[in-house]
Structure 1
Amino acid sequence: MNGATLLLGLAAVLDVIANALLKKSDGFKRWVPGVLALVLVVAAFGLLGVALKSVSLTTAYATWGATGLALTALMSRRLDGTRLRPAAWLGLALMAASVFVLHSS
């Protein structure tokens, strides 16, 4: 695992936390979680930008997006009790496979 991969992972984690805070902001009615969400989104994009120095845009965005989506799905189960159906798990697996193919090509 190289530095760019770690940056992409951290960017995805920050993005997921920002999404959770955005939900907590209740449409920005609660300003503290809303502002924190915005700060984390900017930080996530900053890390993505740094990672783009050594990773192609396609691979970086696919990795960031897929990681963020998978983590959001898992976090949603924990926070909201949302359960994924088998088709959703299959979709996440296909997404992971596509990121692997992008990284290996």
Structure 2
Amino acid sequence: MPAFQGFLPSFAQKKLSRIKVYMMNNWVLLGIAIVAEVVATSALKTSEGFTRLAPSVVVILGYAAAFYLLSLALRTIPVGIAYAIWAGLGIVLMAAVGWLAFGQKLDAWGMVGMALIVSGVFVLNVLSRTGAH
């Protein structure tokens, strides 16, 4: 909460609260978009080159939902930040799905790489002043 908010008239405080909710909703949309992309990519593995109907439908709907939600999230989230989060968390989540669902294990260097990706996303979002958060 900005220090000056207590000095704002009530109508301005309500407007500021709505803006915060709107911006938070866009972060939620980005999170859902990432999950939709991970679901679609997982289904892509099981679609066997789009030869199986059900997984193929999940792929198409999942990617459509993911990109639509990403486009909505980009209303307030800078594209570079959103894409860094999208790519970083998508990679880590897909590695987890690959391990749990498909038995694709990571070695120690793979774990180090995942930690570096998560660290990079953290630095961009918490420590960097790259974009307007």
User: Shorter-chain TM-score category?
Assistant: over 0.9
| 1:101 aligned residue | 123
| TM-score, L = length of structure 2 | 0.74
RMSD: 1.4
Deviation by residue 1:29-51 (Cα, 9 ceiling, x = unmatched): 11221122111101000111111
Helix, strand or coil: the match of 1:27? coil
| 2:84 aligned residue | 62
Matches within 5 A, 1:13-28: 13-28=35-50
Highest Rg: 1 or 2? 2
Runs of 4+ in 1 over 6 A off after TM superposition: none
| Structure 2 gap segments, 5+ residues each | 1-22, 129-133
| Structure 1 gap segments, 5+ residues each | none
Work out the percentage of aligned pairs sharing the same amino acid. 38
Matches within 5 A, 1:26-45: 26-45=48-67
| 1:47 aligned residue | 69
| 2:106 aligned residue | 84
Give the superposition deviation at 1:92: 1.0
- Aligned residue pairs: how many? 105
- Alpha-carbon contact 1:9-1:67 (below 8 Å) kept: no
